[in-house]
Amino acid sequence: MNYRIADAGPTETKEEKLDKLTILAVDDDPLTLLYLKKMLAGDSRQILTASNGKKALELAFDHRPHLLITDWRMPKLNGIDLCRILRKTRKTQHVYIIMLTGCEADDELVEAFNAGADDYIVKPFTPKVLQARISSGERLIRYQQTIRRDRDIIEQYATELAAANRKLQNMAMTDFLTGLPNRRNALIRLKNLIAEMDRYEESLSCIMADIDHFKKINDTYGHDCGDMVLKKVASILEEKARSYDMVSRWGGEEFLIVCARSNRLESFQLAHRLRLAVEKHEFKFTEGHRGHVTISIGIATWSPDFVNEDELIKEADNCLYLAKKHGRNRVIA
């Protein structure tokens, strides 16, 4: 698993390389606009200009500036309405807005802030003051960028963590060798199924299958060959069972098949099919050594006589024991 939480966590305050600051200056007076453009120019800035609110709006939507300096009174769309629209539009709602205007009455200042302005400068302004206010705005913009970046990192960690958890959960429920659901998984399925089948008054059965004389395969051809046989038997059982049966690896060379909506006769027929399919398959144990393996099967069908799933499995185990005792390669229900 590739955890990166330890090396560069979201709480780290590493100085990061910041984007160029995009500033949009808006004024219907060409001289003011020219002046602003010259004054604002700098290596770390991109300066855009517009001569009215409507053009500014188009530029803002296209370029998503970080900061906007706008005049109030302009043709087509004034600065106040420009503010309102930008604030209401998702992609521009966070732009830092400085109103630069000749209006200096308190009511007008209040109106500008109510429309969404972040700062207010009365004309004529001095470059020093404007620069200082832009710096203050830039600090806020950078701070917001850091927060957004940290949030993205946290979201990414959360996604990775959720995926890792899913993988772990999957691993805890799956048999490593065969890829089948493991015993824990089968027990959960069985428990749930018993409740479900009881509710709908449907039958359910358990098929316990055990490979005959499996130890001999290990002893004769080696453990790897034993593993190969286990995997193949697992895949034969999977292939021959119905899609709603759960074939699980119960342990060693034993497989439990949990059969929903399956009475004694139906599960008996399925068990026969499984037994024949395994018996029929020709294994290549080693170079020049081919042969067959068989399985013995015990079946138990759920009824109110059983206390719980453990009792049901115990019954399937008893039948399996009898199948072994009576000569193996057979089904007992």
Identity of the residue, 65 or 226, whose beta carbon is nearer to ligand GH3 in the bound complex: 226
Restricting to residues 84-103, name those near ligand GH3 by CB under 6 A: none
Per-residue 3-state assignment (H helix, E strand, C coil) for the chain = CCCCCCCCCCCCCCCCCCCCEEEEEECCCHHHHHHHHHHHCCCCEEEEEECCHHHHHHHHHHHCCCEEEECCCCCCCCHHHHHHHHHHCHHHCCCEEEEEECCCCHHHHHHHHHHCCCEEEECCCCHHHHHHHHHHHHHHHHHHHHHHHHHHHHHHHHHHHHHHHHHHHHHHCECCCCCCECHHHHHHHHHHHHHHHHHCCCCEEEEEEEECCHHHHHHHHCHHHHHHHHHHHHHHHHHHCCCCEEEEEEECCEEEEEEECCCHHHHHHHHHHHHHHHHHCCEEEECCEEECCCEEEEEEECCCCCCCHHHHHHHHHHHHHHHHHCCCCCEEC
- Main-chain phi, psi angles of 328, to 5 degrees: 70, 180
Token pair, residue 203, equals 């039958």
Pick the closest to residue 297 from 239, 257, 252 (CA basis).
257
Residue pair 131/100 in contact (Cβ under 8 Å)? The answer is no
Encoded one letter per residue, x for contact with ligand GH3 by CB under 6 A and - for no contact, window 295-324 reads: -----------------------------x
Q: Which does 20 bind (CB under 5 to 8 A by kind): Mg ion, ligand GH3, none?
A: none
Q: Which does 215 bind (CB under 5 to 8 A by kind): Mg ion, ligand GH3, none?
A: ligand GH3
Please pick, from the candidates 71, 138, 175, 253, the single residue that binds ligand GH3 as defined by CB under 6 A. Answer: 253
Question: Considering the rule CB under 5 A, would residue 71 count as an interface residue with Mg ion?
Answer: yes
Please pick, from the candidates 38, 191, 223, 325, the single residue that binds ligand GH3 as defined by CB under 6 A. Answer: 223
Identity of the residue, 40 or 271, whose beta carbon is nearer to ligand GH3 in the bound complex: 271
Identity of the residue, 78 or 178, whose beta carbon is nearer to ligand GH3 in the bound complex: 178
Size of the site for Mg ion (CB under 5 A): 9
Question: Considering the rule CB under 5 A, would residue 125 count as an interface residue with Mg ion?
Answer: no
Identity of the residue, 52 or 301, whose beta carbon is nearer to Mg ion in the bound complex: 52
Question: Considering the rule CB under 5 A, would residue 108 count as an interface residue with Mg ion?
Answer: no
Please pick, from the candidates 27, 71, 118, 212, the single residue that binds ligand GH3 as defined by CB under 6 A. Answer: 212
Question: Considering the rule CB under 6 A, would residue 48 count as an interface residue with ligand GH3?
Answer: no
Pick the closest to residue 258 from 302, 294, 295 (CA basis).
302
Q: Which does 71 bind (CB under 5 to 8 A by kind): ligand GH3, Mg ion, none?
A: Mg ion
Restricting to residues 169-188, name those near ligand GH3 by CB under 6 A: 177
Question: Considering the rule CB under 6 A, would residue 215 count as an interface residue with ligand GH3?
Answer: yes
Query: What's CA 197's distance to the chain center, in Å?
Result: 32
Q: Which does 108 bind (CB under 5 to 8 A by kind): ligand GH3, Mg ion, none?
A: none
Identity of the residue, 218 or 235, whose beta carbon is nearer to ligand GH3 in the bound complex: 218
Question: Considering the rule CB under 6 A, would residue 211 count as an interface residue with ligand GH3?
Answer: yes
Please pick, from the candidates 174, 218, 220, 235, the single residue that binds ligand GH3 as defined by CB under 6 A. Answer: 218
Binding site for Mg ion (CB under 5 A): 28, 71, 73-74, 210-211, 214, 253-254
Binding site for ligand GH3 (CB under 6 A): 177, 210-215, 218, 223, 226-227, 230, 252-253, 324, 328
